């Protein structure tokens, strides 16, 4: 059941208080991402500086956190993004969400800025702000350990930033529970801007279940299916198995998206990783799948490097850099995690810098004597280190690829592979047209999680080679389901486990919270949450011109295989898909939200901000 309590902390004033929030007010947004975005919307002044004290940082567990529901331990972190200036939302998993709920809160809302580097301690009703000057510069793992050590209890769950968050790197992340991360949109920089190094939470309350007798068989059945064929990929090689699949499909981003297949793919594949480097497999709390493959380098110059490897960071430091060696890749992913930066954005920024160097737009002198060419892992790592230290060219790259390109000039913005300022993920849009649409219209930028169009492409629900209006409806369906999973706090990797997702999720929700939520009500929650994010962006100045792709995706064709025309996303094709998407959302031709749509979703209070 919900606690119906939101913890607010004003760091400038050093004050905390609890505001009641009725379960019926929470229910339309479910929890997690949905609830956090609503709280952000309600508390953030429009036009706020993302790195100023007025930005609001919200943490919200899903309603299943701390229950038996398999993988239900995700929590959302949300703020105005310093990378995009629009909605910044990210998810992490494991114990932190359970612990915040056991402390008795459905969400935590942070405002203001502490006067010196500090960390927060939340223990049931007690909130303390402790000085953290002695923790300055510590990496994410060392910070977690130091805070727990100082508090004298392993029962504290700790979220922390690394040195990159302290230095306000615009794609800095927030880590928790020794390796889980709220990775995208730069929320670690927001925590850093608030002078907070960490948030430690311990709780002793009981998370009450409305219908334990009803919940038990549902969760047992779900857990059993989580260990079945639908999650075999994750339990086997994990997401690194995507390397060879995407290489085969011709959609593996290679050398900053100059190519879409990589001759070194075998060497950096999930298969190669598993054969030579995976030491063990671990799981988030309450997860029967266990997809996290921990890899270790045992010899050579990177001996001792150890990191959890997923597909996204892996492609971003291998094929994207033209690097076919897993040893420096494991070190780069380790470095990103410890310093606390999103490896997708950081890897893309490095790849963009490599291309600038190869084209002569940036020179040796710009890199303090380095010559970062594609294929040079050591140089890539050195540039990555400069980013996390904001040293030399790293200071510019730490602002994100879009701002770096705007400053460097020439034609470098054409191959800055980002949308709205956030860097693309590991799915080349030219051979995945629903993914191309998802990148273009995604509220948090070029995102594969909130707008996971690739699955419609790969499953053949629409043509992946030729985009049109039907791709809009396909993407809406995927976005809405993703919004529900992210708000219920359930891991996306079990999405295929559900038969009738809406019916099953409704039953689970009712058993946990005691609140009636029909499948029809749930089906409205997805569009409600997606529309709320869009309204947030409109309030921050979004226009239809923001829904676009970088020129490389539109004009640089890549081979599509035998008997096929080379692929790109034609401008007319993109516009047809966007028109189909706006129509499927019930929006106007220029992407605005009509008042009737806001009313239908119970969001009529937003009309004053959206001009509807
Ligand atoms: S499937 Fe993987 S990411 Fe998802 S909850 Fe389980 S261990 Fe965590």
* Ligand 1: residue whose CA is nearest its atom 5: 71
158-182, pLDDT tens digit by residue?
Answer: 999 999 999 999 999 999 999 999 9
Mean pLDDT of the 17-44 span: 98
Average pLDDT, the chain: 96
Establish whether residue 95 lines the binding site of ligand 1, counting it when its CB lies within 6 angstroms of any ligand atom. Answer: no
**Nearest ligand 1 atom to alpha carbon 231:** 1
Q: How far is the CA of 88 from the centre of ligand 1 (A)?
A: 22
Maximum distance among all Cα pairs of the chain, rounded to whole angstroms: 68
Determine if ligand 1 sits within 6 Å of the CB of residue 284: yes
Rounded Cα distance, 425 and 253, in Å: 9
Instruction: Label the pairing between strands 87-92 and 75-80.
Output: antiparallel
285-314 average pLDDT score: 95
Query: Could you tell me the residue ranges of all domains in the chain?
Result: 5-202, 232-423, 429-610
Around 151, how many Cα atoms within 13 Å sit in the side-chain half-sphere?
27
- Rounded to whole angstroms, the Cα distance separating 269 from 244 reads 6
| Structural contact between residues 587 and 535, judged by C-beta atoms closer than 8 angstroms | no
Confidence check: pLDDT of 560 > 90: no
374 lines ligand 1 (CB under 6 A): no
Taking only the tens place, the pLDDT of each residue in 386-412 is 999 999 999 999 999 999 999 999 999
H helix runs in 72-211, sequence order: 95-102, 140-151, 163-166, 187-193
Taking residues 359-363, what's their average pLDDT?
A: 97
SS3 78: strand
Give every CB contact of residue 134 below 8 A, 6+ residues apart in sequence: none
Ligand 1 atom with minimal separation from the 494 CA:
1
How, if at all, do strands 118-123 and 196-202 pair?
A: parallel
Half-sphere exposure of 10 (CA within 13 A, CB side): 7
What is the distance between the alpha carbons of residues 31 and 34, in angstroms, rounded to a whole number? 6
Give 351's Cβ-side CA count (13 Å radius). 31
Is residue 562 pLDDT above 70, yes or no?
Answer: no
pLDDT higher than 90, residue 612: no
Strand 278-282: give its sheet, edge to edge.
Answer: 278-282, 292-296, 306-309
Rounded to whole angstroms, the Cα distance separating 61 from 260 reads 37
For residues 167-179, one letter each, b for 16 or more C-beta atoms within 10 angstroms of the residue's C-beta and e for the rest, the string is bbbbbbbbbbbeb
User: Residue 493: CB within 6 Å of ligand 1?
Assistant: yes
Cα–Cα distance list, 508 to 3, 210, 284, 525 (Å): 17, 11, 20, 16
Ligand 1 and 283: CB distance under 6 A: yes
| Ligand 1 mean position, distance from CA 359 (Å) | 41
Of 493, 404, 415, 505, nearest to 452 by C-alpha is 493
Overall pTM > 0.95: yes
The answer for residues whose C-beta is within 8 angstroms of residue 228's C-beta and 6 or more apart is 497
pLDDT one-digit tens code per residue, 479-494: 999 999 999 999 999 9
What letter does residue 269 receive in the DSSP assignment? S
Residue in 90, 91, 178, 291 to alter for ligand 1 test, most ligand atoms within 8 A of Cβ: 291
Q: What percent of the chain has pLDDT over 90?
A: 96
**Angle, helix 519-539 to helix 32-43, in steps of 10 degrees:** 40
Distance CA 331, CA 302 (A): 6
Given this model, what pLDDT does residue 611 score? 81
pLDDT band for 563, please (50, 70, 90 cuts). low
How many angstroms does the Cα of residue 412 sit away from the middle of ligand 1? 37
Res 519: pLDDT: 95
Best probe residue, ligand 1, of 231, 240, 489, 493 (max atoms within 8 Å of C-beta): 493
Summarised one tens digit per residue, pLDDT across range 499-549 is 899 999 999 999 999 999 999 999 999 999 999 999 999 999 999 999 999
Candidates 181, 292, 293: which one to mutate for ligand 1, based on the most atoms within 8 Å of Cβ?
292
CB-based burial label for 206 (10 Å; 0-12, 13-18, 19+): exposed
**What topology does CATH give the domain 429-610?**
1.10.599
* Helices within 320-447 (DSSP H only): 326-339, 343-358, 377-389, 393-397, 401-408, 433-441
Backbone torsion region of residue 410, taken as left when φ is above 0, otherwise alpha when ψ lies between -120 and 50, otherwise beta: left
DSSP one-letter code for 594: -
Q: Would the CB of 486 count as within 6 Å of ligand 1?
A: no
pLDDT digits (tens, 9 = 90+) for 67-90: 999 999 999 999 999 999 999 999
pLDDT of residue 570: 96
Q: Return the best residue to mutate from 73, 227, 282, 491 for the ligand 1 pocket (most ligand atoms within 8 A of CB).
A: 491
How many CB atoms are closer than 10 A to CB 304? 10
Of all protein residues, the one whose alpha carbon is nearest to atom 2 of ligand 1 is 291
Q: Output the pLDDT for position 181.
A: 96
Cβ of 289 below 6 Å from ligand 1: yes
- 208-224: per-residue pLDDT in tens? 999 999 999 999 999 99
Q: Is the CB of 234 under 6 A from ligand 1?
A: yes
| pLDDT at residue 201 in the model | 98
User: What b-and-e string marks burial along 318-334, b requiring 16 or more CB atoms within 10 Å of the CB?
Assistant: bbbbbbbebbbbbbbbb
CATH architecture of 5-202: 4-Layer Sandwich (3.60)
232-423, CATH topology level: 1.10.569
Question: Are 549 and 439 a contacting pair, CB within 8 Å?
Answer: yes
């Amino acid at each position: 059941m919900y606690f119906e309590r939101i913890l607010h902390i004003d760091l400038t004033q050093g004050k905390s208080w609890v505001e009641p929030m009725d379960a019926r007010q929470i229910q339309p947004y479910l929890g997690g991402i949905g609830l956090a975005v609503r709280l952000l919307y309600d508390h953030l002044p429009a036009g706020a500086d993302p790195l100023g004290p007025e930005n609001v940082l919200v943490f919200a567990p899903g309603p299943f956190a701390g229950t038996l529901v398999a993988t239900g331990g995700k929590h959302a972190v949300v703020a105005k993004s310093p990378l995009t200036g629009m909605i910044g939302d990210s998810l992490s998993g494991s114990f932190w969400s359970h612990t915040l709920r056991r402390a008795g809160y459905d969400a935590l809302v942070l405002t203001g800025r502490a006067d010196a580097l500090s960390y927060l301690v939340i223990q049931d009703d007690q909130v303390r702000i402790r000085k953290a000057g002695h923790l300055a510069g510590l990496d994410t793992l060392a910070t977690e350990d130091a805070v727990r050590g100082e508090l004298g209890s392993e029962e504290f769950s700790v979220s922390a930033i690394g040195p990159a968050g302290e230095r306000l790197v615009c794609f800095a992340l927030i880590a928790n529970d020794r390796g889980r991360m709220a990775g995208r949109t730069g929320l670690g920089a927001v925590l850093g801007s608030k002078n907070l190094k960490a948030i430690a939470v311990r709780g002793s309350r009981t998370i009450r279940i409305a219908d334990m007798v009803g919940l038990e068989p549902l969760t047992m059945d779900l857990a059993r299916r989580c260990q079945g064929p639908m999650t075999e990929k994750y339990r086997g090689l994990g997401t690194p198995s995507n390397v060879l699949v995407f290489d085969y499909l011709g959609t593996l981003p290679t050398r900053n998206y100059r190519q879409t297949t990589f001759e070194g793919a075998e060497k950096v594949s999930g298969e190669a990783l598993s054969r030579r480097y995976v030491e063990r497999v671990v799981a988030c709390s309450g997860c029967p799948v266990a997809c996290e493959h921990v890899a270790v380098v045992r010899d050579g110059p990177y001996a001792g490097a150890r990191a959890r490897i997923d597909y996204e960071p892996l492609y971003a430091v291998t094929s994207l850099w033209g690097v076919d060696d897993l040893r420096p890749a494991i070190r780069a992913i380790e470095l990103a995690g410890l310093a606390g930066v999103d490896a997708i954005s950081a890897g893309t920024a490095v790849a963009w810098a490599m291309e600038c160097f190869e084209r002569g737009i940036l020179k040796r002198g710009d890199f303090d004597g380095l010559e970062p060419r594609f294929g040079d892992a050591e140089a890539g790592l050195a540039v990555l280190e400069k980013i996390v230290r904001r040293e030399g060219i790293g200071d510019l790259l730490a602002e994100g690829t879009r701002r770096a390109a705007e400053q460097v000039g020439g034609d470098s913005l054409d191959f800055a592979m980002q949308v709205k300022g956030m860097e693309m993920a590991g799915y080349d849009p030219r051979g995945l047209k629903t993914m191309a649409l998802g990148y273009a219209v995604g509220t948090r930028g070029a995102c594969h999680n909130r707008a996971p169009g690739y699955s419609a492409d790969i499953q053949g629900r629409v043509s992946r080679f030729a985009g049109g209006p039907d791709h809009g409806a396909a993407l809406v369906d995927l976005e809405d389901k993703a919004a529900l999973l992210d708000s219920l706090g359930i891991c996306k990797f079990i999405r295929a486990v559900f038969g009738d997702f809406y019916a099953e999720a409704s039953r689970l929700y009712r058993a946990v919270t005691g609140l009636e939520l029909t499948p029809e009500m749930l089906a409205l929650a997805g569009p409600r949450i997606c529309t709320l994010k869009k309204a947030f962006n409109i309030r921050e100045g979004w226009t239809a011109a923001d829904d676009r792709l970088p020129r490389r995706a539109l004009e640089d064709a890549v081979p599509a295989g035998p008997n096929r025309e080379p692929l790109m996303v034609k401008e007319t094709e993109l516009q047809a898909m966007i028109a189909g998407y706006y129509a499927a959302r019930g929006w106007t031709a220029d992407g605005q939200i009509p008042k009737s749509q806001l009313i239908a979703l119970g969001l009529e209070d937003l009309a004053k901000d959206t001009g509807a």
